[in-house]
Amino acid sequence: MDTDVLIVGAGPTGLMLAGDLVRAGVGHQVLERRTAEPNTTRAFAVHARTLEQLDVRGVADELVATGRQLPGIRLFKRATVSLAGVPSRFPFVLVTPQYETERVLAGRGVRVTSGAAVESVDQDAGGVTATLADGRTLRARYLVGCDGVHSVVRRSIGLSFPGRSVLRSIMLADVRLAEVPAETLTVSSAVGAMAFIAPFGDGWYRIFSWNSDERPVSEPVELDEIRATVRTACGTDFGMHDPRWMSRFHSDERQAPSYRVGRVFLAGDAAHCHSPAGGQGMNTGIQDAANLGWKLAAAVRGHDRLLDSYESERYPIGRTAVKTSGALIRSGIARSSLQRALRMAAIRIPLSVPAIRRRSAIIISGVGVGYGDGADRVPDGPLPDGRRLYEALRDGRFALLGTPDLDIGAWSERVTLTGATPAGDRITLVRPDAYAAWSGSPADTTGLRSALLHWCGEPAREPAER
């Protein structure tokens, strides 16, 4: 073996995964076909649950300092979803360029091999072999395809990418504005036109715009076309000027039928893609990596039973992201007045109910994501030693909230005893990704032992009951 894990793709998903493997001390190599770092990128929104995952890794505050914190999202001039009540240290959407997210993630000790274009992937019972364009081959125990919508890895392992095109031509631009929009992520539309506007906080604004003309993606974008589209959708073009870049792309909604084939895994856009509405794409990919990294580390050390749970947990989340972003984008691209009126009513009426507005904020922020069977998000909170829970998870180990009636010394290298008071007379075993592995009575030694065996593997010695 050349290494334990090969990661194909050095976008946010691949960098997050690599950083987790660095933390775990697992051998890996990141292969990136690009030879230069891009300075223009599509993704711009980082939601609360993603920031919580970065907080678990000690880099959230660094990223927050690079962008603008927006308190909510305004939808089609009809309703505002406030994020102020989201139960998190990060009750906002952070708007920052994707290259800042990549810089922070790479700063966790990640090394990338640039100009390493993977042409094919083959596997057998013992490992995975990646063949590069220059003829080299690399072999590893596992391989993760984080190589985007046109994934070579996905194609090599024979997986389709079913779905459909949503918008044939979306215009993007970073511009300066003479008029400052409201302090929200603004999504506006009219018949035949739609626009998103997001402030980066440094005087630049990201514009996503669409009109029913839908010119080919190969056709150059003119600022006047974007101005006219935004003016139709928003009622003003905000005096936009001095674009630093403009581009077109088409938007599909697709999902691979499986996230794993043998020793090969898919994550991020290689596994799922959808419209930019709601800013879910990069967030979903980063959280894919947060789920997979610690499981791969366990597998490299001989405890591979957790790997199947990656697909069972993350596939439904990807499916939901595809559906919700699709519903939002379709609400904004009405091509007739009647269609627009019906779709606006479908948004305005539910969001006039406070409980639905609160639930919408929880969904958008990602803090409502759970994996079923009790594997829910564990919120951050103070510990007796003065740290927060998410700080205690930064070493990549499990954490135990509450004092059990079982001596877990045999698992002490994998589990941190926090000394926290049991919540509701229950103790909780917290996974490295800040989701619950198990919760039960302090006296339920059988349940806790079973959970430790399942999640942490065999102990060094058999634990003794107190």
pLDDT one-digit tens code per residue, 383-440: 999 999 999 999 999 999 998 999 998 899 999 999 887 777 899 999 999 999 999 9
**CA pair distance 212, 271, nearest whole angstrom:** 29
Are 128 and 142 in contact, with CB atoms under 8 Å apart?
yes
Residue 345 has pLDDT above 90, yes or no: no
**What pLDDT score was predicted for residue 86?**
95
pLDDT attached to residue 466: 40
What three-state secondary structure class fits 273?
strand
Higher pLDDT, residue 199 or 440: 440
Helix axes 281-300, 308-332, angle to 10 degrees: 180
Q: What is the band of 464 on the pLDDT scale with cuts at 50, 70, 90?
A: very low
Q: Dihedral sign for Cα 190, 193, 198, 204, please.
A: negative
| Cα gap 456→398, rounded to integer Å | 8
The stretches of 218-333 forming alpha helices (DSSP H) are 223-234, 281-300, 308-332
Sheet with 79-82: strands ordered across = 79-82, 72-75, 185-190, 193-199, 205-211, 163-176, 241-255, 272-273
Single pTM value for the model:
0.93
Residue 465 has pLDDT above 60, yes or no: no
Q: Answer whether 78's CB lies under 8 Å from 344's CB.
A: yes
